[in-house]
Amino acid sequence: MKTEHVYIHFPFCVSKCPYCDFFSIPFNDPGIHKKYIGYLLKEVANYNEITGHLKSLYIGGGTPSLMHPDLLEKILSSFSFYPECEVTIEVNPATADFNKLRSFKDLGANRISIGTQSFISSDLKTLGRSHDANDIYECYENARKAGFENISIDLIIGIPGQTPASVQFNATEAVNIAPEHISTYILTFYDHTPFYKKLERAEIFKHDDDTEMDFFDLTSEILEKYCYKKYEISNYSKPGKESIHNSNTWNFGSYLGLGAAAHSFFGKTRWENPRSIENWYYSVVNCRKAYKETQSDTVSLKNEFIMLGLRRTDGLNTGYYRAFFGSDIMEDYKVSLNKYLNNKILVKNGECIRFDQKKIGIFNSVVSDIIL
Ligand code: SF4
């Protein structure tokens, strides 16, 4: 068995956004980037025996658009690809000019994900982002000129100070620039971040859960009105432009995560690379001996299958569950699934069990109740 999906983590950023929980370091030094990619190529070689032709390669971060195109070329030349492979690179609007985007495109990237967050400069300032609204429009235009026909943007919902009008403006601007894919996330205040400390000191405020849901629903309504199909709880696309990489994860497919702090899922094992560059270097030269196995017991995997599957608008596939685990989901989760099917919060259609999208606001409490 070989995996056809790879994630690469590039952990360097211009500066650290105060809400960010990703493993990222504010360090824009080309020499360090080069050293990091050198180790990454060694890690690619460590996994040669389980890496097949790729159907998706996702380079995330951090800020991969800080990378010199020569380094991207080295990464891409270390894999083989199916002709239709989706090759995504995340781009921070302040770090990619036309020439760089053109180079990325020429080298083989065919999809970019622009870290938009909001089209309002004051929101971006609140978030501590290194770009403003003009940078987004410029980056988007440059990406189209460079030849990208598949662009994703993401929007954050629940930014302190947001109002229904500003949420509406962001969703409308997203529709107006017309990317192929839009992701929306509710802002999380992680407890070790500067944002959380500010919240504790009452220097910023968090919207209550109902307001966040209202903003989420308002965004959803606008995106769907303009023909973006919601295919996952937070993701919308134009027809045929669903993210191959993310869909594989939600469908419980295997993937290899390379780079510091990257996660992998292969066979029936999940593991996580060290969340430190030096420890990851050590892990790579010792042929991945230092990775941390995070989850491989069957109950955890079954729970995760349900959680990921129900996030999809089409729902989870009971046949795939049977093939993967060798048991029947309706037996394993008999009481709780029947409860939510009977009260019509879940709907069963052939082999699929999905959420009634009108009830998606109670997703977290329902899923917590279902899983073992
Ligand atoms: S640019 Fe992205 S990865 Fe980097 S600090 Fe900001 S949110 Fe985190």
Any atom of ligand 1 within 6 Å of the Cβ of 158: no
Question: Taking 90 as the threshold, does the pLDDT of residue 128 lie above it?
Answer: yes
Pocket test for ligand 1, best of 8, 22, 126, 136 (most atoms within 8 A of CB): 22
Q: What is the CATH number of the domain that holds 336?
A: 1.10.10
**Position 227 confidence tier, pLDDT thresholds 50, 70, 90:** very high
178 half-sphere exposure, CB direction, 13 A CA radius: 6
* pLDDT value for 126: 96
Any atom of ligand 1 within 6 Å of the Cβ of 16: yes
Question: Taking 90 as the threshold, does the pLDDT of residue 368 lie above it?
Answer: yes
CB 66 within 8 A of CB 33: yes
Q: How many Å apart are CA 361 and CA 214, to the nearest integer?
A: 10
In-domain check, residue 20:
yes
53 and 156 co-located in one domain: yes
Q: What is the pTM of this model?
A: 0.95
* pLDDT value for 143: 98
**Position 295 confidence tier, pLDDT thresholds 50, 70, 90:** low
Residue 78 token pair: 């270390």
In-domain check, residue 276:
no
205 and 128 co-located in one domain: yes
What average pLDDT score do residues 16-36 get? 93
In-domain check, residue 266:
no
Which numbered atom of ligand 1 lies nearest the CA of 62?
Answer: 3
Distance 317 CA to ligand 1 centre (A): 34
188 and 308 co-located in one domain: no
In-domain check, residue 365:
yes
Pocket test for ligand 1, best of 8, 12, 13 (most atoms within 8 A of CB): 13
47 and 193 co-located in one domain: yes
Where residue 328 falls (left for φ over 0; alpha for ψ -120 to 50; beta otherwise) is beta
Name the residue range of residue 179's domain.
3-250
Any atom of ligand 1 within 6 Å of the Cβ of 92: yes
Question: Taking 90 as the threshold, does the pLDDT of residue 76 lie above it?
Answer: yes
226 and 302 co-located in one domain: no
Any atom of ligand 1 within 6 Å of the Cβ of 156: no
* pLDDT value for 277: 96
* pLDDT value for 325: 94
46 and 125 co-located in one domain: yes
Per residue in 111-126, pLDDT (tens digit) is 999 999 999 999 999 9
* pLDDT value for 1: 87
* pLDDT value for 358: 87
Any atom of ligand 1 within 6 Å of the Cβ of 309: no
Q: Nearest residue CA, atom 3 of ligand 1?
A: 62
Which numbered atom of ligand 1 lies nearest the CA of 13?
Answer: 4
84 and 182 co-located in one domain: yes
Distance 17 CA to ligand 1 centre (A): 5
pLDDT above 70 covers what percent of the chain? 99
Per residue in 173-223, pLDDT (tens digit) is 999 999 999 999 999 999 999 999 999 999 999 999 999 999 999 999 999
What average pLDDT score do residues 97-117 get? 97
232 and 308 co-located in one domain: no
Q: Order of strands, edge to edge, in the sheet holding 81-91?
A: 229-232, 235-237, 181-186, 151-157, 111-117, 81-91, 51-61, 3-10, 256-258
In-domain check, residue 262:
no
Q: Nearest residue CA, atom 6 of ligand 1?
A: 17
Q: Nearest residue CA, atom 7 of ligand 1?
A: 20
Question: Taking 70 as the threshold, does the pLDDT of residue 263 lie above it?
Answer: yes
* pLDDT value for 171: 98
Which numbered atom of ligand 1 lies nearest the CA of 129?
Answer: 6
Which numbered atom of ligand 1 lies nearest the CA of 128?
Answer: 6
Mark which of 250, 283, 316 sits at the end of a domain: 250
Instruction: Give, to the nearest 10 degrees, the angle between helix 298-311 and helix 318-325.
Output: 160
**Position 338 confidence tier, pLDDT thresholds 50, 70, 90:** very high
In-domain check, residue 126:
yes
Q: What is the CATH number of the domain that holds 63?
A: 3.20.20.70
* pLDDT value for 146: 98
What average pLDDT score do residues 45-69 get? 96
Question: Taking 80 as the threshold, does the pLDDT of residue 103 lie above it?
Answer: yes
The domain total for the chain is: 2
Q: Is the peptide bond before 161 cis (omega within 30 degrees of 0)?
A: no
pLDDT above 90 covers what percent of the chain? 90
212 and 146 co-located in one domain: yes
Mean pLDDT estimate for the chain: 95
**Position 266 confidence tier, pLDDT thresholds 50, 70, 90:** very high
320 and 224 co-located in one domain: no
Any atom of ligand 1 within 6 Å of the Cβ of 11: no
224 and 306 co-located in one domain: no
225 and 328 co-located in one domain: no
In-domain check, residue 289:
no
In-domain check, residue 81:
yes
Distance 13 CA to ligand 1 centre (A): 6
